[in-house]
Amino acid sequence: MSKLFTPYNLSGMQLKNRVVMAPMTRTRTMNDVPDDVVALYYAQRASAGLLITEGMPVSEEGRGYLYTPGIYNAAHVQGWRKVTDAVHAKGGRIFAQLWHVGRMSHTSIQPGNIAPVSAGTVQAVNTTVFALTRSGEPGPVVPSQPRALETAEVRRVTADFVHSARLAMEAGFDGVEIMAANGFIFDQFLSSELNPRTDEYGGSVENRQRFLLETVDAISAAIGSNKVGLRISPFGRIYDLAPYEGEEDIWASIAAALGQRELAYVHLYYQPVYTQAPVPAGFKAAFRKTLGGTVIAAGGFTREIAETALETDELDLVAFGVPYIANPDLVERMQNGWPLAESDRTTYYGVTGSPEKGYTDYPAWEAN
């Protein structure tokens, strides 16, 4: 049997296969609370070994995109409980991705229309977020210039993550994934180009990674490290994240630090289409060796590439993103050699006519 479809023990939790549905923002919740349509979307895809939700803002401040369901109040818990119940009824496992965008936000969706926050005040300019345009309509806008978090506020953001992690467990999730990839708040602290701080969260490699590791440790203490995953994107260039001096050193240091923590997994996204600063030769193998523990990777995988990565022990689990949009039964299609459906990019984000369009209306495979 193909290794991709064999069971896997994830920190004591049995997964029925090694296929993971990657987190994907779909902006389908008009009031930022998951509903029955969201529950159906995840339940349709519950044949994956593990589902990872779209990013859930841990606070209003952490939100960078309209219509993204959060996990910081009682209404969110109630809404997400519908999702976890639906997934578990299908025999699935699901982790909640906890998210704070940092500077990748706009004043139009910040509480009181204040500036978003970051490690410093460098604005992201070669990118957009989904917020309110000058006309007041939803659309792509350049992120606003951020303000630098005060030292005590950094610790408050960590507390926000812990609060959301506790609520996620209350909502029935099997665990949480900390979103520390793709140029969001933790990347902003790691980057020496974006982090000019002179307190304990800036300067040295140790200081710049302190915010991330303190958050990992605080969530682990709250819900158990075996229920905590972490997503990172070494050498990522998405969302106006530029190369910075000592980049390889900081990722090697993080690998060593994570290797001392017994997390459920580390989820790597190497962003293969961003080639401005290719991953150094041998880095992936060295990172895995130093890290130890379960490694998931995402980024352009096909069944064939996934099989090779598993057989050569590069990875333990493989995450698929875009293929899951149009193929709710992706596991079955790959396992049986059935063709994959193509998704409609115009319906990836937001509501076009109805929330179901391009979201829950993709059928499972049926032979003619």
pLDDT in tens, 35-60: 999 999 999 999 999 999 999 999 99
| The pLDDT value given to residue 279 | 80
- Closest alpha carbon to 228 in 178, 172, 287, 302: 178
**Percent of the chain residues topping a pLDDT of 70:** 97
Is the model more confident about 153 or about 248? Answer: 153
Question: Mean pLDDT in the chain?
Answer: 94
| The pLDDT value given to residue 47 | 98
87 neighbors 51 (Cβ within 8 angstroms): yes
CB atoms within 10 A of CB 312: 8
Give the pLDDT mean for 285-304: 92
| The pLDDT value given to residue 275 | 44
329 neighbors 365 (Cβ within 8 angstroms): yes
| The pLDDT value given to residue 91 | 97
Three-state SS for 315? coil
pLDDT 10s digits, 209-262: 999 999 999 999 999 999 999 999 999 888 999 889 889 899 999 999 999 999
Rounded to 5 degrees, what are φ and ψ at 104? Answer: -80, 60
Cα separation, 167 vs 279, whole angstroms: 36
The model's confidence at residue 316, banded by pLDDT at 50, 70 and 90, is very high
Least confident of 78-87, 141-150, 178-187, 239-248: 239-248
| The pLDDT value given to residue 303 | 95
Is the model more confident about 224 or about 291? Answer: 224
Give the pLDDT mean for 152-181: 98
pLDDT 10s digits, 219-229: 999 999 999 99
- Helices 210-223 and 247-259, axial angle in degrees (round to 10): 20
Give the pLDDT mean for 69-81: 98
- pLDDT at 274 exceeding the cut of 90: no
| The pLDDT value given to residue 367 | 65
Is the model more confident about 223 or about 355? Answer: 223
- pLDDT at 8 exceeding the cut of 50: yes
| The pLDDT value given to residue 281 | 82
pLDDT 10s digits, 323-339: 999 999 999 999 999 99
- Closest alpha carbon to 218 in 174, 178, 170, 267: 178
Beta strand spans in the chain (E) = 8-10, 13-15, 19-21, 50-57, 94-99, 117-118, 129-132, 138-141, 147-148, 175-179, 228-232, 265-269, 295-298, 317-320
| The pLDDT value given to residue 1 | 63
pLDDT 10s digits, 86-135: 999 999 999 999 999 999 999 999 999 999 999 999 999 999 999 999 99
Rounded to 5 degrees, what are φ and ψ at 164? Answer: -65, -35
Tokens of 266: 């580390």
